[in-house]
Chains A and B, each alone.
Chain A
Amino acid sequence: DAGITQSPRHKVTETGTPVTLRCHQTENHRYMYWYRQDPGHGLRLIHYSYGVKDTDKGEVSDGYSVSRSKTEDFLLTLESATSSQTSVYFCAISSNRESTEAFFGQGTRLTVV
């Protein structure tokens, strides 16, 4: 299995509070991604990173920010959580080599009440 770990695995938080999800990899892969999974939508890209301090927005980036200060860590922050951000969040990593696929973390179930 690819070395990718998400923390926490489950979290319940109140509306308006900040939340940070962490993705940690041991594969030294260049690319890291945050997706959210919602019924009827599949997985949608929130933010991604090409390398340290090199990030960009995805399809559903409003209300989220990211940071990547080290190759192995990619943080997703909800500055002020809302109920619409209740979802399952997946981190993924991939290399820029042609032969690799994206590896996904176990997912984080976030509930905003």
Chain B
Amino acid sequence: AQKVTQAQTEISVVEKEDVTLDCVYETRDTTYYLFWYKQPPSGELVFLIRRNSFDEQNEISGRYSWNFQKSTSSFNFTITASQVVDSAVYFCALSEPPNQGGKLIFGQGTELSVKP
């Protein structure tokens, strides 16, 4: 069965600190996709990144970076120099390929609080 675990329920940091959100997944599929979504206090879900199982290159987008390691089934998310606006709930998700339906399995979410 597919499963996503975000062991960190809540994280609190002070502005400008770096923070890493952990994500561990389980799947028997050889082709799959991993996602991170952000849910700010306003409640909408904002897509951050999608990574397929064949692409293990790390990715950096501004202050955000993602570390995908198939050997440990992990897809961790790091925010560098955190800001108050980064305060949100972050979800890691796993899906089957889009042409097979693309259904998402979500982790429980990590609530990040960045204090000034």
Contact = CB atoms under 8 A, between A and B. Distances in A.
Interface of A: 31, 33, 35, 40-45, 48, 50, 58, 88, 90, 92, 94-98, 100-104, 106-107
Which 6 residue pairs across A and B have the least CB separation, nearest first?
Answer: A42-B106, A104-B45, A43-B106, A42-B108, A101-B50, A96-B99
Nearest to B44: A106
B35 interface: yes
A106 B104 contact: no
Interface string B14-30: 00000000000000000
Nearest to A109: B43
A96 B47 contact: no
Interface of B: 4, 6, 35, 37, 43-45, 47, 50, 52, 91, 93, 95, 97-99, 101-109
Given A44-B106, A97-B98, 7 more contacts: A33-B103, A42-B107, A43-B104, A96-B98, A102-B102, A102-B104, A103-B47
A57 B114 CA distance: 38
Nearest to B48: A101
A31 B45 contact: no
Nearest to B97: A98
Contacts of A44: 106
A11 B63 CA distance: 38
A94 to B, nearest CB: 5
A48 B106 contact: no
A88 to B, nearest CB: 7
Contacts of B35: 101-102
12 contacts: A33-B104, A35-B104, A42-B6, A42-B107, A43-B91, A43-B104, A43-B106, A50-B101, A88-B43, A94-B102, A98-B99, A100-B98
B47 A101 contact: yes
